[in-house]
């Protein structure tokens, strides 16, 4: 569950506490082109107020009216489908003949929303199971990924923080990078043992500052396949300590700031620290896409763009991934 959907659940709880009837919609399947992916949430209040989105605006008006009239999910959860035909897709403005299937759930104290939010705030990942025939809900620890499951009778959704970003260095670039990553629903940790870089981090919501040595912190965090690390200090004594441990983990992204030449030198150094040639090849350096940026926010944007592409399995080739002959990556004050 990302931060936007957490706010949807919080809004639903607030409305229920004020005595409103609330129905929660979850996208469970899409066919063709769809504006919102499975797992997207929206809550509908009895007076027509909504929070969240299921289609980017295509079907919401019709859905709100049907819920308000009691045609859908009056007592128990119910499924509904939009865009089942080309005519309906055109009517509701769904792109490219897309189809969206939604589960609508009337919420109550038995929906376990309070318990769900408590688990998320404790940084636990949980699977929420909804039985459509009875409306009963249960929560359990999630150990097998973040896939939504729906078989027509039972809806299982996964909630809680999953993405993590460890930034080595607490300078100016790190602040922009941390802010953008938080917006993308990463739990961000900034590591810098240098006291002069600690000012102001406590006030940044969603970011934890660590004073540990980088290698010790990488080992302590046990980076997994949902973790990323970016080293931006320009100080090999700090960056290399983090990289030599991070490259041995399952982290989906490990990157380091610096020019192409500096990173080639860094790769040779890492081979002397018991890092294998195969592991060294996983280093992203120069870090980020080559967007031509020179300022700290532009460099941060290039980094989170590449992180997103790698996480989504997008092949990176062509000019955006080509740093040959470019010095842009090191023209930034960190």
List pLDDT tens digits, range 28-65. Answer: 998 765 567 888 899 999 999 999 988 766 788 889 99
Structure tokens, 188 = 């961000």
Res 179 pLDDT > 90: yes
Long-range contacts of 2-9 (CB under 8 A, 24+ apart): 2/185, 3/183, 3/185, 4/52, 5/39, 5/40, 5/41, 5/52, 5/159, 6/117, 6/120, 7/51, 8/41, 8/42, 8/43, 8/51, 8/52, 9/41, 9/43, 9/113, 9/116, 9/117
pLDDT digits (tens, 9 = 90+) for 164-178: 999 999 999 999 999
Whole-angstrom Cα distance, residue 20 to residue 45?
Answer: 7
Domains, the chain, in order of start with CATH, read: 3-159 (no CATH), 163-330 (3.40.50.720)
Q: Look at residues 197, 188, 195, 204 and name the one whose alpha carbon lies nearest to residue 169.
A: 197
Predicted pLDDT of residue 334? 46
DSSP 259-270: -HHHHHHHHHHH
How confident is the model at residue 203, as a pLDDT?
Answer: 80
Whose tokens are 């080639």? That residue is 264
State pLDDT tens for residues 258-307.
988 999 999 999 999 889 999 999 999 899 998 988 899 999 999 999 99
């Amino acid at each position: 569950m990302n931060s936007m959907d957490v706010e949807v659940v919080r809004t639903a709880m607030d409305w229920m506490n004020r005595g409103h009837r609330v129905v929660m919609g979850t996208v469970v399947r899409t066919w063709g082109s769809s504006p919102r992916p499975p797992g997207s949430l929206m809550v509908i209040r009895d007076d027509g107020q909504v929070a969240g989105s299921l289609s980017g605006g295509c079907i919401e008006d019709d859905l709100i009216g049907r819920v308000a009239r009691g045609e859908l999910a009056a007592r128990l959860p119910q499924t509904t489908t939009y865009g089942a035909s080309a005519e309906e897709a055109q009517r509701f403005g769904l792109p490219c003949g897309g189809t969206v299937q939604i589960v609508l759930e009337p919420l109550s104290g038995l929906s376990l929303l309070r318990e769900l939010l408590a688990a998320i705030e404790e940084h636990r990942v949980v699977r929420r199971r909804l039985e459509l025939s009875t409306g009963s809900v249960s929560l359990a620890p999630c150990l097998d990924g973040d896939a939504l499951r729906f078989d027509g009778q039972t809806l299982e959704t996964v909630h809680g923080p999953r993405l993590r970003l460890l930034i080595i260095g607490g300078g100016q670039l790190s602040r922009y990078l941390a802010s953008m990553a938080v917006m993308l629903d990463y739990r961000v940790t900034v590591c810098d043992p240098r006291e002069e870089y600690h000012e102001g981090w406590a006030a940044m919501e969603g970011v934890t500052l660590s004073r540990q040595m980088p290698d010790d912190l990488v080992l302590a965090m046990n980076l997994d396949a949902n973790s990323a690390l970016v080293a931006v200090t320009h100080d090999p004594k700090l960056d290399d300590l983090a990289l030599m441990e991070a490259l041995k983990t399952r982290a989906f992204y490990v990157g380091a700031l610096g020019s192409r030449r500096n990173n080639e030198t860094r790769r040779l150094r890492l081979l002397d620290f018991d890092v294998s040639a195969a592991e060294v090849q996983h280093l992203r350096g120069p870090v980020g896409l080559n967007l031509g940026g020179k300022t700290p926010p532009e460099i941060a944007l290039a980094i989170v763009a590449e992180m997103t592409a790698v996480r989504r399995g997008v092949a990176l080739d062509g000019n955006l991934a080509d740093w040959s002959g470019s010095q842009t990556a090191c023209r930034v004050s960190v």
